[in-house]
Amino acid sequence: MGVSASGKSTIGKLLASELRFPFFDADDFHPEYNIKKMASGQALNDLDREGWLLELNDLARREPNAIIACSALKEAYRILLRKDLSKEVHFVYLKGSYEQIYDRMTEREGHMMPVSLLQSQFDTLEEPSDALTVSVSLTPETIIKQIMNEINPKCDFGLIGLGVMGKSLCRNLINNDVKLAMYNRFVAGVEEGVAADFKQAYNLDSSAAFEDLEQFVESLNTPRKIMLMVSAGPAIDHIIEELVPLLDEEDIIIDGGNSHYSDTKRRMEYLNKEGVHFIGTGVSGGEEGALKGPSIMPGGNQQAYEQIKPFLEAIAAKDKNGKPCCTYIGTEGSGHFVKMVHNGIEYAEMQLLAELYQLCRFGKGMQPEQIADLFESWKAEGLDSFLLEITANILREKEDDKYLIDLILDKAGNKGTGNWTTVAASQLGFPATMITAALYARYVSAHKESRKQAASIFRFEKSSALDCSLDDMREAYRVGRIINHHQGFELIRSASDTFAWNLDLSAIAGIWTNGCIIRSELMERLIEPLKEALPILLQRDQLTILKTGRENLTALNISGLKAGFNLPCFTAALNFLNGYTESKGSANIIQAQRDYFGAHRYQRVDDHSGKTYHTVWSN
Ligand code: 6PG
């Protein structure tokens, strides 16, 4: 619809061919009388148009799938046109100014509507409020794209990979009214009809399910937004290879798995050449987070991110001010880097709790439920966190009359992100000692058979008379966590400086306050101070805690080690604190040794010029 010469016939024909619908030009349905009247320079009135509109309405009844180009200038005309139609009617209003249309009309030859009638068309026009309004100044192709996006039944977002996380994210998207296309591969006898079964099981009527990739891609509006929730590693490259020939320029692929940040950068560069955007995003929160609101850490091209932002923000957890726990992290693989460090911090947070559990259970002789009570009491002491809470819950869990924790094999698994964090820290020259210690603690635990053998040979006893207090434990835990967060955030800062990512540490803390595994009260408290460039350990808020807490941390370590316990994370925390706060350390010996055997040279304390020295050592 629109005034004469707004381009109805051109657009209508193109649209009809796109949809494979018949096209009808309402001008062809005017009675002789109307045509003559217009040709003589007189405008039609309501009465003149009535019969014509009724005939068009009749046509629409006979041709339920059709494109009709009709001026439909007044609301009353449109009501008449759509009267008693059983199918949905979409009005597309081609809007232009008088001047724009006038120019077009003067260029047009042989049309029954004289230019002199244009003003009466505008006088009669009542702009529709319920139509898709499209500017006539756009190219016909763009107009068709806009119309197709509005009226066709295509989906707005696609998700590939219906594993546990993928399914939860799908439900989250659908709960947030996203028109979703879901795809899971077909593997005969193993993965068959996964998407369709899932759709049926959860009554996800508004979504579309596929196991044919081409149909899945076809079902999406452009630019397509496709989220991959497949296992990190070669599976990502594989699906990208399958997707690329099916995609158009400007389409966006989002990798929501725990991919390595350098793989993300490589994939981004490759897809860039194909004109396709790639966003590597961290998603934290496990199955429940994915369903109810995860913390989301997207990185890559910012313009591409802006297009997926509404979807990611809709499904993200919300912080205490109602803001989505999702923020653009930075370019390249920075989103995945930040997620990787999140997991590293997670490793150390988990390990601290595991060490505390050991000390309480076997050094203090407490029952799991008593330890759960203790941990819960710490929530009121500024130590509340998701991991503390779930650990207390774990310790209360029973199977018949046995604590479940006693039935779980003490052999820790890992999926690699802690390893990557340790390697990245090492490559960047940053001492993430607690993450490393937590990772290695898992590795030690994994050698269960060797441990059993060694235990039977050495027969070391653990003393059940641990002489640090429960208060020491609480304060040592507080200090250990601060050091862990310091190391994690400084590692991010170090990567940000090295790769010129310009990351906002405070914003990262902000999106880690809800949805993710390391959400905690401490994280909330870090948002403000992280706005300053000061490392956490040097922030005023932490000084008193660290000064007094160091004594508790020392007491825990001394008594724990003396009693025969393995405390990799707590000792790493204390060693780091001691090393970080000493202005004079022992590295002069290292430098001298290096110079002695390799002439690697050293700097002197009495020469600040940066000059290096070599000594011809006398022996
Ligand atoms: C999260 C978790 C999640 C996953 C870990 C487990 O943020 O939701 O970190 O990513 O649970 O990858 O890692 P491990 O198997 O290495 O412990």
Give 160-211 pLDDT, tens digit per residue.
999 999 999 999 999 999 999 999 999 999 999 999 999 999 999 889 999 9
Q: What is the DSSP string of 282-333?
A: EEESHHHHHHH--EEEEEE-HHHHHHHHHHHHHHS-B-TTS-BSB---BSTT
Give 428-481 pLDDT, tens digit per residue.
999 999 999 999 999 999 999 999 999 999 999 998 889 999 999 999 999 999
3-state secondary structure of 601: coil
Q: What is the 3-state secondary structure (H, E, C) of 348-399?
A: HHHHHHHHHHHHHHHHCCCCHHHHHHHHHHHHHHHHCEHHHHHHHHHHHCEE
pLDDT, the chain, mean: 95
Name residue 23's beta-bridge partners: 67
Q: Which one is catalytic: 339, 349, 475, 490? A: 339
Q: What angle do CA 572, 390, 366 make, to 5 degrees?
A: 70
Is residue 339 annotated as a catalytic residue, yes or no? yes
b (16+ CB within 10 A) / e for 463-490: eeebebeeebbbbbbbbbbbbbbbbbbb
Give 349-365 pLDDT, tens digit per residue.
999 999 999 999 999 99
Q: Which one is catalytic: 8, 167, 332, 346? A: 346
Is residue 199 annotated as a catalytic residue, yes or no? no
How many CA atoms are closer than 13 Å to the CA of 279, on its beta-carbon side? 32
b (16+ CB within 10 A) / e for 30-66: beeebeebbeeeebbeeebbeebbeebbebbeeeeeb
b (16+ CB within 10 A) / e for 425-435: beeeebbbbbb
Among 142-146, 286-290, 346-350, which is the least confidently predicted range?
142-146
Contact 313, 326 (CB under 8 A): yes
Output the residue whose Cα is nearest ligand 1's atom 7: 284
Our answer on whether the CB atom of 472 is closer than 6 Å to any ligand 1 atom is no
Whether omega before 529 lies within 30 degrees of 0, making that bond cis, reads no
Our answer on whether the CB atom of 284 is closer than 6 Å to any ligand 1 atom is yes
CA of residue 343 to ligand 1 center, whole Å? 6
Give 114-153 pLDDT, tens digit per residue.
788 899 999 999 999 999 999 999 999 999 978 877 776 7
Our answer on whether the CB atom of 290 is closer than 6 Å to any ligand 1 atom is no
Amino acid type, 175: N
Our answer on whether the CB atom of 286 is closer than 6 Å to any ligand 1 atom is yes
